[in-house]
Amino acid sequence: MEEVFELIKKEEERQARTLMLIPSENYTYSEVRSALGSFLVHKYAEGYPGKRYYQGNEFADQVETLAVEEAKKLFGVPFANVQPYSGSPANAAVYFALLNPGDGIMGLELSSGGHLTHGHPKITFSGKYFESIRYGLDPEKEKYFDFEKIRELALKEKPKIIVVGTTAFPRTLNWEKFAQIADEVGAYLMADISHIAGLVVGGVHPSPAPYAHIITSTTHKTLRGPRGAIILVTDKGLKKDKDLGEKINKAVFPGLQGGPHLHSIAGIAIALKKAGSNSFRDYARQVVKNAAVLAEELKSLDFDLVTGGTDNHLMVLDLRNIGIDGKKAAVLLEESGIILNANTIPNDPNPPFRPSGIRLGTPAVTVRGMKEEEMKEIAGLINLVLKGKKNVLKEVETLCERFPIPE
């Protein structure tokens, strides 16, 4: 037991003295951590509030109802399910609710910044049991998508679901354009906003709620909640299928999951409540400001950025011009306390385990209170490591000491 707690303490120390720049990682609130370690961890609660299979769920029902109501209010939708264990199971539940094996899922290809669960072929459940239909980025087109080409593909392949969501796309998503295509072919439009949910509720990225039928999202990342996920159905979704919410509920339980993780659901309720505050909106704005400055500073240091910059919380650097692959770069930076990840670039000539790019973002360093000047400093440190092959661990630790992780 002592060994486990020693390792937890070492991880806490590692996080304190390094720069967390992986865009999908963030620091949650102390209240969320308290909920995760609460007595709710003991309780089984298969079913939904008021319709449990076990007794003793009076307070569990109230916790889950709070989380559901906060989600509906925050995103402006009539239905929410807060039980998915994580983002991939949430996406799987949507497919389980609406698709038969062999039906088409149309999603962004992985090398262009899509996600494995958006129909990536062969190696994922979404591409193995359903027809995989891929669209990609086109840097020459407005908003980096060739919407006429995507429309022609959709008309030809007739997907049952069109997924719009990214893990490494640094620009604003045009929900309306994708909705027009989905409506024309009769497909469901599913917006996976796992990366940008905090930016959406913070008012610095357009919401998909008026355009999509279904919205999925993790609750960590920019939302700063615990590991978990939510599935939302919009007014447009219920207009297309009045039973859509019930179908999703049944797909989550008993279709794919057993008892919900009530301690995580309590943490989700807390994070969603906080995300509706003015302070959270200030945070979201600063995340985007920081990302813009970091991107521009890296460009000034002759780094190539996919799409030339960023509109959101992340950026992808194409490292081919400096003669290093993404994996080697990520390892070098980790040795200096700068934590980010190797990442593919569109039409990447390198294999996935040694891609040409790296991905980095500003959600976590913004939580620590860092602003524009610190972003310039971070860009300079990255430059020293990747071009000068200099270890800057001491400089990183000094910066982290100036901006400790909030309690």
pLDDT, one tens digit per residue, over 257-303 is 999 999 999 999 999 999 999 999 999 999 999 999 999 999 999 99
**pLDDT class for 407, splitting at 50, 70, 90?**
confident
Give the range among 25-34, 135-144, 307-316, 322-331 with minimum mean pLDDT.
135-144
| pLDDT winner (highest mean) among 127-131, 138-142, 260-264 | 260-264
**pLDDT class for 113, splitting at 50, 70, 90?**
confident
**Residue 402: partners with Cβ closer than 8 Å, 6 or more residues away:** none
| Alpha helical stretches, state H, 103-220 | 125-128, 147-157, 175-185, 197-201
Q: Cα angle at 229 between 282 and 207, to 5 degrees? A: 45
**pLDDT class for 372, splitting at 50, 70, 90?**
very high
What is the pLDDT at residue 128? Answer: 87
**pLDDT class for 124, splitting at 50, 70, 90?**
confident
Give catalytic status of residue 221 as yes or no: yes
Looking at per-residue pLDDT, the higher value among 231 and 407 belongs to: 231
Of 25, 44, 177, 273, the active-site residue reads: 44
Of 151, 160, 221, 224, the active-site residue reads: 221
Of 46, 146, 235, 397, the active-site residue reads: 46
Share of the chain above pLDDT 70, in %: 100
Neighbours of 301 (CB within 10 A): 15
Of 64, 70, 109, 192, the active-site residue reads: 192
What is the pLDDT at residue 139? Answer: 75
- Residues linked to residue 81 through DSSP beta bridges, in sequence order: 231
pTM of the entire structure?
0.96
Asked whether the predicted pLDDT for residue 191 surpasses 90, the reply is yes
Judged on CB neighbours under 10 Å (0-12, 13-18, 19+), 177 is middle
Please tell me the distance from the alpha carbon of residue 320 to that of residue 334, in angstroms, as a whole number.
Answer: 19
What is the pLDDT at residue 25? Answer: 97
Of 28, 218, 234, 344, the active-site residue reads: 218
Q: What is the dihedral of CA 358, 224, 308, 400, to 10 degrees?
A: -60
Asked whether the predicted pLDDT for residue 357 surpasses 90, the reply is yes
**Which helix (DSSP H) or strand (DSSP E) does residue 50 occupy?**
none
**pLDDT class for 28, splitting at 50, 70, 90?**
very high
* Domain 278-402 fold: Aspartate Aminotransferase, domain 1 (3.90.1150)
Query: Token pair for residue 351?
Result: 């294999």
What is the pLDDT at residue 352? Answer: 86
What is the pLDDT at residue 141? Answer: 76
Looking at per-residue pLDDT, the higher value among 345 and 127 belongs to: 345
357 backbone dihedrals φ, ψ, rounded to 5°: -130, 175
Mean pLDDT of 343-368: 95
Give catalytic status of residue 44 as yes or no: yes
What is the pLDDT at residue 112? Answer: 83
Please tell me the distance from the alpha carbon of residue 341 to that of residue 359, in angstroms, as a whole number.
Answer: 6
**pLDDT class for 122, splitting at 50, 70, 90?**
confident
Give catalytic status of residue 46 as yes or no: yes
Judged on CB neighbours under 10 Å (0-12, 13-18, 19+), 58 is exposed
Mean pLDDT of 148-175: 96
What is the pLDDT at residue 302? Answer: 97
Give the range among 130-144, 164-178, 246-260 with minimum mean pLDDT.
130-144
Give catalytic status of residue 227 as yes or no: yes
| Contact criterion met (CB below 8 Å) for 99 and 158 | no
* Domain 30-275 fold: Aspartate Aminotransferase; domain 2 (3.40.640)
Nearest Cα to Cα of residue 26 among 181, 227, 210 = 227
Asked whether the predicted pLDDT for residue 333 surpasses 90, the reply is yes
Neighbours of 67 (CB within 10 A): 30
- Amino acid in position 301: L
Of 72, 143, 227, 240, the active-site residue reads: 227
| Contact criterion met (CB below 8 Å) for 201 and 178 | no
pLDDT digits (tens, 9 = 90+) for 173-189: 999 999 999 999 999 99
Domain positions in the chain = 30-275, 278-402
**Residue-averaged pLDDT of the chain:** 96
Asked whether the predicted pLDDT for residue 96 surpasses 80, the reply is yes
